[in-house]
A and B are shown apart, each in its own frame.
Chain A
Amino acid sequence: MPDLLSVKNLKIEATSYPPGEPPKVVTLVEGVSFDLEKGKVLGLIGESGAGKSTIGLSALAYGRGGCRIIGGEVLLNGKNILTLGRSGINAVRGAQVCYVAQSAAAAFNPAHKLGDQVIEASLRHGIMSREEASERALYLFRVLGLPNPENFGDRYPHQVSGGQLQRAMTAMALCSKPDLIVFDEPTTALDVTTQIDVLAAIKHAIEETDTAALYITHDLAVVAQISDDIMVLRHGKTVEYGTTKQVIEAPREEYTRALVSVRQAKRDEAPDQTGSLLKIEHVHAGYANGFKVLHDVSMHLPKGQTLAIVGESGSGKSTLARVITGLLPPSEGRITFEGKELPKALKGRSNDELRRIQMIYQMADTAMNPRQTVRDIVGRPLSFYFGMHGARKTERVKELLDQIEMGTPFLDRYPAELSGGQKQRVAIARALAAQPEIILCDEPTSALDPLVAEGILNLLLKLQEETAVSYVFITHDIAIVRAIADSVAVMHRGRLVRFGPKSKVLAPPFDDYTDLLLKSVPEMEIGWLEKVLQTRRMESAGN
């Protein structure tokens, strides 16, 4: 029996238009081959830019934004769909192969009801009558666990939540009973506690309907829960391709091993956490429109230690960072630094107070002025805070570049000429230049390749040992918290749920939210999802 989908030696190109230069042809994907049997799930995994979405869309013979499939074959049920004409391709799309996009919110047409959009492809391809399609939609809404499945189809996309939209999109893909569905990061835009429900719903639905799937994600732990085979991609090429069991439990390539391994950077927490360099006391904060974000938040950070603040999006963790920096003055409460209260607003703080708290951002690209060289970027705090200039300043900049393991050759580069990891290192050097006592790190590694992220974390730990700087580390990644924190604060909907030494916060007995959060983080273990769902069922049965 031939495979359902067989991709052979795929090559995809795109033309890029760099400003001020002649157009350039870029190869996005090269030499990628894989096979998928009926009813099986193949996970495509890689960082952004690895070409995984582009490969996924090739199963629909679609090139997004000027991508061209220029080589190889995509055989669907033994027929090469790349050679089909316009109407032939249209007969495949939406009928035999369906697509679930990352952002369902953008992918649904805001002008039409969800139900109409879900059944549209089935009707237009003549697969079923309106009654049959509506019935199937209802069935799928139930299978996917959507609330009020009878009325769900009457709602407009903006009237339901992101997690529900993602499930509705899955229903839309399943409705026409396709042979294959391409899932393109369907849970990436969701919160970790929502992700697990959607993931479970998708898994249940494709098992129930015996549909094959290409599951694209950057999260190996997620793909381990759902796929039979895994292909690891990097820079448009295959790194490793094997069964899920083999890839997870016995990875052959170094890159895969880095993806699989739990963070190697590891630190034992400081035994004494009584001192407080920075103290946040009963802070309330909100925006000018009266929307309150933080409610009565208190925590403290001893000198030379790391405080990790964890939470999902909307938990208020980034707002707390803005309050600490003075960008958003708190409405109540106070922040003390070495026992002295900091002026609430940025404007009231002296340059020396500003110097002692520095910040590192998630996106190093936007955190550095693209028109300044590394020398200017790192040098500015030196001249601003310490009045350095000329040779002395250059010397110091070089020292700092050595400290972040980059060195003199980078002195006159622009940010655009640096890689993601190098940019983040320069951002760290800029923070260090001020000789701060605290560095606020707002998800500094979450936009980076895991190998690069590992390097940044190690650098931060090394610098802490050398300079005794303290970190406030904002993240959603529990693994990072385990690796580097001394104390941990868990935030949820603007409130502090739990705070204390890492060993206490991340160990039972848990409160409900921390329990949910910790259990929702996918683990690099086959069968983890079933186990969690099993526990949940038992718990709800017990209640």
Chain B
Amino acid sequence: MNLRTIPFSAWIGIIGIAIAIFCALFAPLLAPFGEREVVGDVWLPAGGDFLLGTDNLGRDLLSRLIYGARTTIFVALAATVISFALGMILSFTAAVTGGFVDQFFSRFNDLMMAVPTLIFALVVLAVLPQHLWILVLVMAVLDSTRVFRIGRAVALDVAVMEFVEAARLRGEGTVWIIFREILPNTLSPLLAEFGLRFAFSILFLSTLSFLGLGIQPPAADWGGMVKDNKDGIIFGISAALIPGGAIAALAICVNLVVDWLMKRTSSLKGGRGDA
């Protein structure tokens, strides 16, 4: 693979993601003001000292946006990584072991997926105390059902191939079969799936925050910022649209990259060829 084969749309996505991650990493250096610092009047228009204006409490919107990138990206990423690890381990175990284990995991997964993710999250978050790690865990567990589903399908595709049977006949253990025979052949589709889940996590986290169930104030996060500033909309103040646009832009960027990854893998029957 070389850089020239990456299409223009994917470049846009990659650059967008890079900018967001850069902001997240160096937020204190980049932000002109503090995350929770009240610096002026409520809902000042953009321009002057405040590049994007101020929010409903008179905090600098740009600074909060930069800090918000940090929270949003890290929480979404943490949730995605955990959900992926969980979903992959369970799905690969199910696919390789087969029989009762597979049936049990799969039926339980069907049950979890019978309730829409958001509804499930609402029910669970109504009971649990509000902590960041609980939020991440709930997001991860709910999302892992989707990962399980894809992971199992992908692993089964590979697991029925004869080289896996050959490894079994040799007497190889489950761990070898999963990590040495199956995983290397499923990396491409799984990478695309990871991107898809990450985009979904960003949207899901933002939605929860928007509903007041995600990240709690005064910490800045993009979904919460929309909620904070939504009352301004009726007065024609667009402060809520800026973090909303940031969420949309980041999700679009991730999806652009995913789209490219998927197209690349779809021409890869059986995961061969781009070693």
Taking beta carbons and an 8 Å cutoff, which residues of A are in contact with B?
Answer: 17-22, 325-327, 346, 349, 351, 354-355, 358-359, 361, 363, 366-371, 380-381, 384-385, 414-416, 430, 434
Contact = CB atoms under 8 A, between A and B. Distances in A.
Given A19-B274, A370-B273, A384 B5 contact: no
B26 interface: no
Given A369-B181, A371-B185, A384-B171, A19 B166 contact: no
Contact of B268 (A19, A367, A369): A19
A367 B163 contact: yes
Contacts of A430: 166
Contact of B169 (A21, A346, A363): A346
Contacts of B184: 369, 371
Contacts of A327: 165, 168-169
A361 B274 contact: no
A323 B178 CA distance: 24
A416 B264 contact: no
Contacts of B181: 369
Interface in B177-224: 180-181, 184-185
Interface residues of B, number: 27
Contacts of A414: 275
Contacts of B169: 325-327, 346, 354, 358-359
Given A17-B267, A19-B267, A20-B5, A370 B272 contact: yes
Nearest to A362: B162
A385 B5 CA distance: 43
A322 to B, nearest CB: 9
Contacts of B5: 20-22
13 contacts: A22-B5, A326-B169, A346-B169, A349-B171, A358-B169, A361-B166, A369-B163, A369-B184, A370-B272, A371-B185, A384-B172, A415-B272, A416-B275
A18 B274 CA distance: 9
Given A346-B168, A368-B166, A369-B181, 7 more contacts: A19-B268, A19-B274, A327-B165, A366-B162, A369-B180, A369-B184, A370-B272
B264 A19 contact: yes
Contacts of B267: 17-19
A19 B265 CA distance: 8
Contacts of B165: 327
A146 B169 CA distance: 45
Contacts, number: 73
A325 B165 CA distance: 10
Interface centre among B169, B273, B274 (most CB of A within 10 A): B169
B119 interface: no
Contacts of B180: 369
A366 B1 contact: no
A11 to B, nearest CB: 25
Interface in B240-275: 264-265, 267-268, 270-275
A385 B171 CA distance: 9
Contacts of A385: 170
A177 to B, nearest CB: 41
A359 B166 contact: yes
Nearest to A349: B171
B132 interface: no
A380 B177 CA distance: 13
